[in-house]
A and B are shown apart, each in its own frame.
Chain A
Amino acid sequence: MEVELRGITKRFGRVIANSDVNLTVKAGEVLGLLGENGAGKSTLMNVLSGLYRPDAGEIIIDGTPTTFDGPGDAIRAGIGMVHQHFMLVPVFSVAENVVLGVEPTGKLDYLDLPKAHDQVRQINETYGLQVDPDALIENLPVGIQQRVEIIKVLFRSANVIIFDEPTAVLTPQEVTEFFEIVKSLRDAGKALIFITHKLHEILEISDRISVLRGGKIVGGGDPKKLTDIELAEMMVGRHVSFGVDKKPYAPGAILLDVQNLTVLRGNDDVAVNNVSLSVRSGEIIGIAGVQGNGQSMLVEALTGLRRSARGKVLFRSRDITITSPRDRHRLGIAHIPEDRQRTGIIPSFTVAENMVLDTYYDDRFSSGLQMKWDVAHKKSAAVVANFDVRTPSVFTAAGDLSGGNQQKLVVARELSREIELVIAAQPTRGLDVGSIEYIHKRMIDARDSGNGLLIISSELDEILSLSDRILVMFKGRFVAEFGAGGRPADKNAIGLAMAGVTTQAAA
């Protein structure tokens, strides 16, 4: 099977999302489609999966021009899409979710669930997916849920499978497993389109790469002959620096001092187990670890959102173990939360309202009872300009901004006030290269001007390029420490520690 998109153009009002795009994918190959957020990747794939009708151009399947009147047509033509946000019913079982909409029925139209089970099991075996057909979706980790989406697509006998940002929600281990699945699908003769903005992933998994920028194909080729720098420049259209320039390491006074902190998740479940760490001014501490090893609970305890069970948290030698989140903000602790959509911003609020979300009570913006919206708007506009948040105005709803700009908004809000310590959780997750570069630069600036930063990330590259010292968290403990006098930071050793393999040098 071979699918060709020829001269696809798609407009939304005056915005041209795709302009004369040509793309081909053949059976048994992985096409990597690279582009920043807003480059037109999703629009293009929505055209291919029948959700949008192109304004110009045609879709050619095995040499025959075809038009899709809706997603149903595309599915019948053998094109399936695994969306970034899963479309599963949490309280249904795997088998029930897979057959939803195309249920196998027996006599008198009753639902033949055993048959569904068999079919799911068969797909499982063919592609080595290992998913229990009886498990409830809500009990499954994200990586397995994604496999359910893949089974759904295979169940509808797709020969072309589109993966929209499939690794955005996965842990590093899950990514490795996911790549194995992609390879087995490819070897089984499926045509695969892999959409991402992550360079190393596209270089690893693709047989061919196309780069989309501003709705147009701007380049591509053989991943064996391309470097990540070349790809990044095609993607953003200018020179990109991966390295970060920072001043020599010169730590100052201790800002944050955590002593034997234990945090519980629920009643008896120990999430953070007796950990100690300190952050000095002018340094970046990176906490590496696979998600779910207690990092989120540690952050919540440090920012006052969750009570700690034992231990102490000192900020500039002052005990803040039971201080409220608001008072910690006031003391000069900034928090960049890990889930910007849910906890970082309020999508329906304007940019300005989000900009003062945790300082609105301050004398500058409030007279006690009444908000000084004029001041807040002016201040927001200045911060937006200063931090390069791309928005038409400060009255635009934050939810209308791209993910990168939403995150820049959060970073701008936190770094633009009087602070000494920054606690940043997954500060660049799911962002494009340009935004990552920018946010990293601002965090280095904060370090160089004497702030202390604690960065929690499951992106090892991010931890490595930013941190002065690195702690590896595994099952609620710090199992290894690298950098600044100790062991030099080494990607391999950190990776092993993240997987729980402790070496003799581990603390």
Chain B
Amino acid sequence: MSQQTSTQSEIDKLLQKAAPGRAQFEDLVVVPIFAIIVALILGGFAMLATNVDLATIGQSYVALLRGSFGSINALSETFTAATPLVLAALGIALGFRAGMFNIGAEGQLLMGGMAAVVVGFSFSGLPMIIHLPAALLAGAIIGGLYAGIAGWLRAATGAHEVITTIMLNLMSYRLVDYLLRLPVIQRSGRADPISKSVLESAELPRVLEWIDPGLRLHAGIFLMLGAVTLVYWVLFKSTLGFEFRASGESAEAARFAGMRSGLIIVVVMAFAGALAGLAGANQVLGVLGRATPGFSAGIGFDAIAVALLGRSHPVGILMAGILFGALEVGGRQMQVDAGVSIDLIGIIQALIVVFIAAPLLVRALFPWGFRHAAKTGKE
């Protein structure tokens, strides 16, 4: 009997989670904050080097903050910009977790956006409750299928997804150009490549119009929050996510455990493509209202940085996406208020990514911000 209870207490002890360590907190919170500070300081030096005086530098950073978080309009713009970044980055992160380096979000986003536009301007007379989901779904499905090509090539032939997704990106640019000139898609009376406008019944409704009709924030933000939750569930709670993560950490061990690696590759790529396609649909249905060449605006590439910055964790990606959205929107304000080039924002974004990718560098720069890292040794 005493034997039994001692085993029970042993089992209870095994089930106790260690409290999250300070090192974890430092990695997830302290490092990014310092990275942003260092990036802003170095950005200041970059401005100094281009003969901007100190007062203007100060003014421009005030504008950056004000333009991104300083008013309801600023917040609305920040979240509008963050939404497609987060959606596409979630897909890229799923790929990372499963060991796939998907560079093709840009192409998947374009294809998904095109599909959403086509559904969005066709079928007039449908109620919104059918039309909008149909357009979104079309974007997700086409994005998923487009990425699925790369997944299938990898699973069936071993062709590396970095190469195939880059090629699919290039193809998607020309394909969009071609599609936009097709009579069924091109806006009537126009010679340049531009699509017909999305019908109102397929538009993502604006959510803050009751405060001010100028606020552009649209229902895509709920899509984004839903996707964050969904991806979190998939990765950490679902059976499928367990397979994704197992294949990503050790494809061989996953195979030995009876998982079907080929199928997992195709499924994860399709999933990632669907999220990127949704990001494209979000842009055309919520912001642009139509498609033009290059409407993706590099979101698919920025999303790679967002996924890395968010450490492939849904919550981290949400934060990183908001940061990138804020920088983009605040950068515009910077240009208006202080006359500083918007290119500077690109430099600051890049610096933040570099510093977050190099936590040791940040720790070395700010030794007082971190508890002494105990030297660990292994027997």
Contacts and interface: CB of A to CB of B under 8 A. Distances in A.
Interface of A: 12-13, 17, 37-43, 46, 52, 303, 305, 324-326, 328-329, 335, 337, 342-349, 353, 357-358, 360-361, 366, 368-371, 373, 377-378, 380-382, 384-385, 391-396
Contacts of B16: 393
Nearest to A330: B258
A370 B238 contact: yes
A337 B256 contact: yes
B377 A346 contact: no
B10 interface: yes
Contacts, number: 107
B13 A366 contact: no
A394 B15 contact: yes
Contacts of B374: 12-13
Contacts of A378: 11, 15
Contact of A393 (B7, B18, B238): B18
A395 B256 contact: no
A42 B378 CA distance: 8
B248 to A, nearest CB: 9
B258 A358 contact: yes
Interface string B361-375: 000000000000011
Interface in B327-379: 374-379
Interface in B1-43: 7, 10-18
B10 A385 contact: yes
21 contacts: A12-B374, A12-B376, A13-B376, A42-B378, A43-B379, A46-B377, A305-B255, A305-B256, A346-B250, A346-B253, A347-B250, A357-B253, A357-B257, A358-B258, A361-B239, A366-B239, A371-B239, A371-B242, A381-B12, A381-B14, A384-B14
The 5 closest A-B pairs by CB, nearest first: A326-B258, A358-B257, A381-B14, A325-B258, A343-B256
A17 B237 contact: no
B250 A360 contact: no
Contacts of B252: 342-343
Given A40-B379, A385-B10, A371 B237 contact: yes
B253 A52 contact: no
Given A385-B11, A396-B18, 10 more contacts: A12-B377, A17-B379, A37-B379, A349-B249, A360-B242, A369-B239, A370-B239, A382-B11, A385-B14, A393-B16
Contact of A329 (B253, B258, B378): B258
B240 interface: yes
A342 B249 CA distance: 10
A12 B233 CA distance: 38
A43 B375 CA distance: 13
Contacts of A325: 255-256, 258
B246 interface: yes
Contacts of B258: 324-326, 328-329, 358
Contact of B256 (A335, A371, A380): A335
Contacts of A344: 253, 256
Interface size class of B (residues with CB under 8 A): 35 or more
A384 B12 CA distance: 12
Contacts of A337: 256
Contacts of A329: 258
B249 A12 contact: no
Contacts of B375: 12
A349 B245 CA distance: 9
Contacts of B12: 381
A93 B249 CA distance: 32
A305 B376 CA distance: 38
Interface string B224-255: 00000000010001111010011001101111
Nearest to A356: B242
Given A360-B242, A394-B15, A42 B379 contact: yes
A393 B13 contact: yes
B328 to A, nearest CB: 34
Contacts of A391: 14
Contacts of A12: 374-377
A29 B233 CA distance: 61
Contact of B379 (A41, A357, A392): A41
Contacts of B250: 342-343, 346-347
Contacts of A361: 239
B379 A38 contact: yes
Nearest to A353: B242
A302 to B, nearest CB: 13
A42 B12 CA distance: 33
B376 A357 contact: no
Interface centre among B15, B18, B260, by most A CB within 10 Å? B15
Nearest to A349: B249
A348 B245 CA distance: 10
Interface centre among B17, B239, B253, by most A CB within 10 Å? B253
Nearest to A358: B257
A76 to B, nearest CB: 23
A416 to B, nearest CB: 14
Contacts of A328: 258
B253 A17 contact: no
B315 to A, nearest CB: 18
Interface in B301-340: none
A208 B184 CA distance: 89
A305 B10 CA distance: 37
A357 B246 contact: yes
A71 B268 CA distance: 45
Contacts of B15: 377-378, 381, 393-394
A213 to B, nearest CB: 12
A497 B148 CA distance: 52
B83 to A, nearest CB: 26
Contacts of B239: 360-361, 366, 368-371
Contact of A349 (B11, B237, B246, B376): B246
Interface in B173-228: none
Contacts of A39: 379
Nearest to A373: B237
A424 to B, nearest CB: 13
B301 to A, nearest CB: 28
Contacts of B257: 357-358
A394 B11 CA distance: 9
A258 to B, nearest CB: 20
A417 B240 CA distance: 22
A37 B379 CA distance: 8
Interface in B126-143: none
Contacts of A303: 256
B231 to A, nearest CB: 14
Nearest to A46: B377
A84 to B, nearest CB: 12
A104 to B, nearest CB: 34
Given A366-B239, A369-B239, A393 B17 contact: yes
Given A326-B258, A344-B256, A394 B249 contact: no
Given A346-B250, A358-B257, A385-B11, A395 B17 contact: yes
A435 B237 CA distance: 34
A371 B246 CA distance: 14
Contacts of B18: 392-393, 395-396
Contacts of A380: 14
Nearest to A384: B14
